[in-house]
Amino acid sequence: MITGSVVEWEARIADVFRAEAATVSATLIREFRDFDLAEESVQDAFLVAVKKWPEEGMPRNPGGWVTTTARRKAIDRLRRDKRFAERQHLLVVDDQEVTEAAAPMDDRIALIFTCCHPALSNEAQVALTLRTIGGLTTREIARAFLVSESTMGQRLTRAKTKIRKAGIPFRVPRDAELPDRLEVVLAVMYLIFNEGYAATEGDDLMRTDLSAEAIRLSGLVAELMPDEASVHGLLALMLFQEARRPARVGSDGSLVPMEDQDRALWDRAAIAAGSHHLDLSMRAEAIGPYQIQAAIAAQHVHSPAFDATDWRRIAELYRRLGEVQPSPVVELNHAAAVAMAEGPEAGLALMEDLAEVGGLQEYLYLHSARADLLRRLGRDGEAAVAYRRAIELTGNTQERAYLERRLAGLTGEHTP
């Protein structure tokens, strides 16, 4: 007899979906050369799982089961398609159950490079990879690009159509082609990691499946291009950030700010691995943005205590990062580091200028950072206004709860 409540089974199946959906989608895209068909067939397979698994039990190889079921659903969809005759050659796909050992290990890497083909605009490359590899919803991607959900949906559709009509190959590029494709690939993996590190929406602060996948894929790219310093820099940055994950949430899932984190919980193995990749990245003649960000993260993870952090060094590194990769967000982080090094008034002055000219009026972390500095200066009324604005802008339950606790500490307000 199969045991477990409906809620428990839904949670188990959701876990499988998060772990396997990108791999299965990549496999189907390779086989059928159709993004929409792959995505719809994977969804079909999980609907079958919701019905069958509570009755029959979890398959021994869930990923293989989902791949086989999704493939059959894709074939069924093709057979119902009015264009079936012209696409019949796609049905030569082997309809045998795929074992875990036989599943292609590089499908997701090949899919990333397909999505990042230079025939697509940079924006389309990033958006399509976030959708297919990161599993982000169209709404989440739209939020990242500050456009409407319908606009982003149209962009994704156009990108997938262009790949199909242009016959863009599904493969890892030849060695000579790799360097020209690397910048966008790394940018996409960084965005996937960031969504895992701090989820823009939902009840959980982090999406560990995304951050783990970004690290795994970056490791594969490092194997493909072992002499590329930027790859090692990105890996170092991810590993340093991931090392702090066990201490970033409390036992109830609540956000724990860095100054309150138990550093004994930080993952020393991840820190050591990050240090190794940082060393490799620093052997390059030119130091790029990922190496600098990794050096900043290294200052945090190697500091024995929050009060012992070398904030002046971090502020200087952010200044250098602003020279290499100018952006209002980098300026905001520089201002926050200056506030820690020289006092809240110095940092707040920089943030006030940034709020006027930096285009960050809708950026959550500008308002939360200003609120924190205003609170530290005893300007509670202004701090409360900034906290309320930050609360309006966040879509993450745990971030909102943290900001509401800060606001309540100033005003006694309790948001329902």
Give the mean pLDDT of 184-210: 85
**Which of 196, 170, 177, 21 lies closest to 106, judged by CA?**
170
Closest CA to 388 of 355, 356, 360, 410: 410
What are 28-73's pLDDT values in tens digits?
A: 988 888 888 998 999 999 999 999 998 888 899 999 999 999 999 9
Average of pLDDT values for 391-397? 92
Q: What is the pLDDT of residues 2-26, one digit of tens each?
A: 566 777 888 888 888 877 888 888 8
The domains located in the chain, with CATH, are: 6-92 (1.10.1740)
* 412/62 Cα distance (integer angstroms): 49
Cα within 13 Å of Cα(43), Cβ side: 9
Residues 6+ apart with CB under 8 A from 350: 331, 334, 335, 338
Has residue 179 got a pLDDT over 80?
Answer: yes
Q: Are 299 and 309 spatial neighbours (Cβ–Cβ below 8 Å)?
A: yes
**Region of residue 165 (phi > 0: left; psi between -120 and 50: alpha; otherwise: beta):** alpha
Q: CA 316 to CA 311: how far, in whole Å?
A: 8
Asked if residue 96 has pLDDT above 90, the reply is no
Residue-level pLDDT at 313: 98
Average pLDDT value for the chain:
87
- Sequence-separated contacts (24+) of 85-93 with Cβ below 8 Å: 90/31, 90/32, 90/33, 93/31, 93/32
- Residues 216, 238 contacting (CB under 8 angstroms): no
The pTM assigned to this predicted structure is 0.79
SS3 328: helix
Q: Percentage of the chain with pLDDT > 70?
A: 92
Instruction: Return the pLDDT at 102.
Output: 34
